[in-house]
Structure 1
Amino acid sequence: MPTIADAVSLLEEIAPPVLAEEWDNVGLLAGDPAAPLHRALTCLTLSPDVVAEAAHAHADLVVTHHPLPFRGVRSLSTEGIDGGSLWRLARAGVAVYSPHTAYDSAAGGVNDQWAQRVGLIDVVPLVRSPIREEVCGVGRIGDLPGGRFAALVQAVRQTVSPAAVLRVVPPPDGAARRVAIACGSGGSLLDAALAAGCDTLLTGELGFHECLRCRSLGVGVVLTGHYASERFAVESLAVRLAAELPGVEVSASTAERDPLSPAAM
């Protein structure tokens, strides 16, 4: 019978914890490594809806991209959202693992999957990992065949949910030759993208003044929303875990939703 430890070993192979940012909280965050593993659930964030789904499905493990706890939790009480979620999971015997920024940066991780889905070539990390020798690191950059911004936007639409709302800073010449990718919030990587000669940035979210800066510099921007920039990758992770953990039922959460939606007219 597979155990939680078997899933941890596989997850550490897929997203080596050494790749995680120093501020992050990755790994097995709750649970007994020796416990048997029958069912696992993947999600982007451990919202109360996902917690209820995991308990109802009798999952033994939830793999959440965004860690819970992320920073310190002072109490495990139903009076708080984070503490209450951890309390309910513990009572239901559900372990919690988070790969977060290790999965973002890993070879075959979130940013690599984005590069593949939009058709970039000659892809390399935007910021190479100083720890590991293989091709992994923070963000990705690559060349877009054809070099047209409209083609990039169309490729992005084919990856995200039909309900996702894309926002763009269109480049003045309609070009997208050298593209930088940063899932989630990409503002901290804008300077690195500019230094690498990128004329386009694909990310989940970017601040207002950063968008103004890009427009002033003639840099194109595609914003998918934070949820859409990462959710597809926890779905592909569920497929991989199911294939490599024989006898374990693995699925992506069906209760999870983007907290943001278009306003009703």
Structure 2
Amino acid sequence: MSVHLADVITALDAAYPPSLAEDWDSVGLVCGDPADPVGRVLFAVDPTAAVVDEALAWGAQALVVHHPLLLRGVDTVGAHTPKGALVHKLIKAGCALFTAHTNADSADPGVSDALAAALGLTVTGVLDPVPAPAVDKWVVMVPAHATSAVQSALFAAGAGQLGEYSECSWRVAGTGQFRPLTGANPTLGEVGRIESVAEDRLELVARRSLRSAVLAALRAAHPYEEPAFDIIELASTRADCGLGRVGELPAPETLRAFTERVRAGLPQTVWGVRSAGDPEAVVRKVAVCGGAGDSFLPTVTRLGVDVYVTADLRHHVVDEHLRAGGPAVVDVAHWASEFPWCAQARDVVERLGGVETRISTVRTDPWTVGGYGGGSNAYG
């Protein structure tokens, strides 16, 4: 069976749900026709001109990247603009462009899981977890003869979804009792007389955002004039999704040795790998965050990790962090910290079968010349 761009999009959206993307982000299909067949897919961190040229030279029908080409609002993609020129080149060659950015950062597994794996860490938690969607538990009393119809209506409204399972519910039989008062128009029984009915207690969950839709479906399908039901707001839980990861090394080692581990695990760049902290300090518990992660320095201090690996760290920020008693830090190139994700995303698409994949050989790290000062932590 041939694979189409729509199949690739479905697979990537399942692995990196667009709902996890930050509000300011731009993810998903940038250009391309979902109905087009796809035989070759190239993966890269950045959609630079060199990467686009590589994709087209190889004959790719899709280019999957981490960083968006069109992040901020634009009013033209004319070929006279640098970004517009790339869009035109891709479209003319029949190559789609797809972006998985902050949704890939927060997915499970995501960018930081790939970084942790490259460093040989066993992931034990999320640095900045995303709370699971708010969920209601619905308890509905239904006359036994109408249970199936009410249940189907609630499922159609989106209730009964548990992870990768749908149409989940629980029921138990019992006896309902009521006395219709003057003005009531009962489906069963008579005004002024107590009525006992064989009923089912139906329980199921639904996202809180679906509450209005589920309530409307309940009222439309339930045979009673005044259906009896409870809506219970379930306690918030922490998901396995979110930015950054916390993990452990197979065995304790010095910061100096760990810095070499990071250097060996990531692609070489002019930026290099540098650490701040006592070189002989022993580390075991590690936090990582692909991309620029200086905003989580207070978090890693609170979590009590021994060392934190991220990118784009600045002089004063690191100095103040260490003075405040924070853990050692290892600073790497932004591109290098996110490059391991390319293999992870490639594996997602390869599972479709019938698609040839490749990771871009272009180093899109922008730094080209390194300055070599003194000391053991000079660029390498």
Is the 8 Å Cα contact of residues 239 and 251 (structure 1) preserved in structure 2?
no
Q: Single out whichever of 161-170 and 104-113 deviates more from structure 2.
A: 161-170
- Aligned to 1:146, the other structure's residue is in SS state strand
Aligned partner of 1:206 in structure 2 is 313
Which residue is equivalent to 1:42?
A: 43
Residue deviations 1:224-252, cap 9 Å, x none?
Answer: 1101101122134224423x132211111
**Match runs of 1:160-171 below 5 Å:** 160-163=266-269, 165-171=272-278
2:131 is paired with a residue of what secondary structure?
A: coil
Distance, in Å, in 2 between the alignment partners of 1:15 and 1:95 is 18
Could you say which residue in structure 2 is the equivalent of 1:246? 353
Choose from 297, 322, 333 the match for 1:225. Answer: 333
CA contact (8 A) 1:171 1:215 kept: no
2-side partners of 1:171 and 1:22: how far apart?
A: 39
Rounded Cα–Cα distance in structure 2 between residues aligned with 1:204 and 1:51: 25
- Larger CA deviation: 169-178 vs 208-217: 169-178
Larger radius of gyration: 2
**In 2: Cα distance, 1:193 partner to 1:248 partner:** 40
How many angstroms apart in 2 are the aligned matches of 1:264 and 1:120? Answer: 31
Q: Verify: 1:139 aligned to 2:244, yes or no.
A: yes
Matching of residue 191 in structure 1 with residue 291 in structure 2: no
Measured after TM superposition, the shift of residue 35 of structure 1 is: 1.1
**TM-score, scaled to structure 2:** 0.64
d(CA) in 2 for partners of 1:109, 1:178: 20
- TM-fit CA distance, 1:126: 0.8
Shift of 1:27: 1.4
Counterpart amino acid of 1:230?
Answer: E
Q: Verify the 8 A CA contact 1:179 1:201 in the aligned structure 2.
A: yes
C-alpha offsets along residues 3-30 of structure 1, whole Å, 9 cap, x if unaligned? 0010011111221222222221111222
Gaps of at least 5 residues in structure 1 are none
Distance in 1 (CA, whole Å) between partners of 2:282 and 2:324 is 13
Compared CA separation, residues 37 and 195, structure 1 to 2 (3 A): same
Amino acid corresponding to residue 157 of structure 1 in structure 2: R
CA distance in 2 between partners of 1:188 and 1:134 (Å): 21
- Check whether the contact 1:73–1:82 (CA below 8 A) recurs between aligned residues: no
Q: Write the mapping of 1:83-122 to structure 2, written as runs, cut at 5 A.
A: 83-121=84-122
What is the one-letter code of the residue matched to 2:5? I
Q: Which of 286, 289, 297 is the equivalent residue of 1:179?
A: 286
Identity among equivalent pairs (%): 34
Q: Is the 8 A contact 2:41 2:357 kept in 1?
A: yes
Counterpart for residue 6 of structure 2: 5
Task: Supply the distance in 1 between the matched residues of 2:255 and 2:279 (Cα, whole angstroms).
Answer: 10
TM-score calculated relative to the size of structure 1:
0.90
- Is 1:154 the counterpart of 2:269? The answer is no
RMSD across aligned positions (CA): 2.2
- Structure 2 letter corresponding to 1:221: V
Which whole-Å CA distance do the structure 2 matches of 1:220 and 1:108 have between them? 25
More moved, 58-67 vs 142-151: 142-151
The answer to whether the 8 Å contact 2:289/2:309 transfers is: yes
CA–CA distance in structure 2, aligned partners of residues 65 and 85 of structure 1: 16
Does the aligned pair in 2 maintain the 1:126–1:141 contact within 8 Å? yes
**Greater shift in the superposed pair: 116-125 or 250-259:** 116-125
Residue 184 of structure 1 contacts residue 205 of structure 1 at CA under 8 Å; is this kept in 2? yes
Whole-angstrom distance in 2 between the partners of 1:120 and 1:163: 22
Which protein is richer in strand relative to its size?
2
Q: Does 1:237 align with 2:345?
A: yes
Residues 139 and 34 (structure 1 numbering): CA distance in 2 closer, same or farther, change over 3 Å? same
- 1:210 aligned counterpart, secondary structure: helix
User: Take 2:336 and 2:101, find their aligned partners in 1: how far apart are those partners?
Assistant: 15
Q: Secondary structure at the match of 2:260?
A: helix
Whether the 8 Å CA contact 2:122–2:247 is kept in 1: the answer is yes
Amino acid at match of 2:266: V
Deviation at 1:81, TM superposition (A): 1.6
Query: Shift in Å at residue 172 of structure 1?
Result: 7.0
Matches within 5 A, 1:12-51: 12-51=13-52
Q: Tell whether the 8 Å contact from 2:42 to 2:60 is kept in structure 1 after alignment.
A: yes
